[in-house]
Amino acid sequence: MSTPTNSRAAKRKKKRFYLVLTSMTILALAVGLVLTALQDNISLFLDPTELKERQIAEGQRIRLGGLVAEESFKKDDDGLTYHFDITDGAETVSVVYKGSLPDLFREGQGVVVEGQVGGPGIFHASEVLAKHDENYMPKEVVDSLKKRGVFRHAEEEESI
């Protein structure tokens, strides 16, 4: 026969178990909702070679980084639409951007653009980030360019 104290202890353990279970369920739901809400704001970082290898779906938001290809910069007659290519030395992606470019934007310099993949080889940028001095370039861009043997640090260029 069970005593009343054993019965009370079992009831307390059962209540505690359900409280923990309910708390964990609520926490899992909250995390799920946050991740779902942030999904549109999460953007991958890729270089042109990775973009072509992964075959990202049209309309997906990503960050694309590399060097602005030499002699690729063109400005439309409206004065606000720009066309340029981003390269990592192996592949090149054409970028279309409408807005004002950073003052330090120029051909041969590191750049990161954020936007959506358009048709094959086309990227529609909504934001352009250019490096702000001779020694800064986003780590992901540097790593990608080094991996492809294209990156040369500003100090290395001065000694050549």
- The answer to whether 109 touches 81, Cβ cutoff 8 Å, is no
The helix/strand/coil state of 85 is strand
- Predicted confidence band of residue 94 (pLDDT cuts 50, 70, 90): very high
| CA distances (Å), origin 131, targets 22, 55, 75, 85, 125 | 49, 27, 21, 16, 16
pLDDT over 90 at 29, yes or no: yes
Q: What is the DSSP string of 38-76?
A: HTTT--EEE-HHHHHHHTPPTT-EEEEEEEEPTT--EE-
Report yes or no: 73 and 100 within 8 Å, Cβ to Cβ.
no
**What pLDDT, on the 0 to 100 scale, is given for residue 113?**
92
**Is the pLDDT score of 43 beyond 50?**
yes
pLDDT at residue 158 is higher than 50: no
| pTM flag (> 0.85) | no
Residue 3: CA count within 13 A, CB half-sphere: 3
pLDDT of residue 81: 94
Predicted local distance difference test score (pLDDT) of residue 130: 80
CA distance 72 to 122: 14
